[in-house]
Amino acid sequence: MRRMPPAILVAALCAVIVSTPVTADQFHDHGFNPNPVLFQKDAQPYGVDITTWAERATQWIWGTPLVQSPLFDSTGANCGVNQQGPVWNIARIAGPSVFSGTRACTIPHQKSLFLFIGAVVDDYPCPAFPDFQPAPGQSLYDFLRADAGPIMDQVDLLEVSLDGQPLNDVFDYRYASDDLFSLTGDLSLQEDLDPCITGSPQQAIVDGFFMMFKPLDPGLHTIVVHGTATAFGQDKTFTYLLTVS
């Protein structure tokens, strides 16, 4: 591998281009849903599957300069940067391997919430690590997936709660790119986020845990995320204090 193990809770935000109109049916479950506050795992919120939302999220955070990045904002002051469309996105609080932090954010009413819990993002080419190359005959997609998957497999505890109520089957909300997508990172993030960023379009995949919350009622809400990857010495807890107004 060409990079240090990524933080277990690498969260990001996504700017969206919405081509499908919002309908009441978007919020209706079709079959059993273990977490009615969430869109179902195989849903297509606003006409887009959750894997694609994750890829858009990755582009958002990789493309936002460090000085504006919600990922590296420890207070929530940047939580509204470039938020667009019917989905409001929640970023983690960047920190060391063992870390607990809190972020506060005010969110407009009737927005769904996209929670990028944790993921590995592999982009190519990576000039910083010239030996990071597919084996002869191996596709680039298979190569990147084979690199990212085992890292995410090391997550050994993952808990998410909304307003004190634990969500069920959190490990089931893992998604991975089913094809390469184009990713353009901002060069200011090379040191703090991804040494492979070139500032030009790169091919990439993402593998991680993601949830899309249906719009929350107006008022105060708390989302808590706790995850560990013991093999990497990681234990992180993030508390999001959300005001929906």
Domain boundaries, the chain: 24-244
Alpha-carbon distance of 118 to 243, in angstroms, equals: 23
pLDDT of residue 95: 87
Letter string b/e over residues 166-202, b meaning 16 or more CB atoms within 10 A of that residue's CB:
ebeebeebbbbbeebbebebbebbbeebbebbbeeeb
How many other CB atoms are found less than 10 A from the CB of residue 73? 18
pLDDT of residue 108: 95
Q: Are 181 and 202 in contact (CB under 8 A)?
A: no
pLDDT of residue 26: 67
Alpha-carbon distance of 79 to 217, in angstroms, equals: 19
Tens of pLDDT, residues 130-185: 999 999 999 999 999 999 999 999 999 999 999 999 999 999 999 999 999 999 99
pTM of the model: 0.87
Alpha-carbon distance of 91 to 204, in angstroms, equals: 20
Tokens of 168: 């069920």
pLDDT of residue 57: 85
pLDDT of residue 83: 86
The residue ranges of the chain whose pLDDT is under 50 are: 1-22
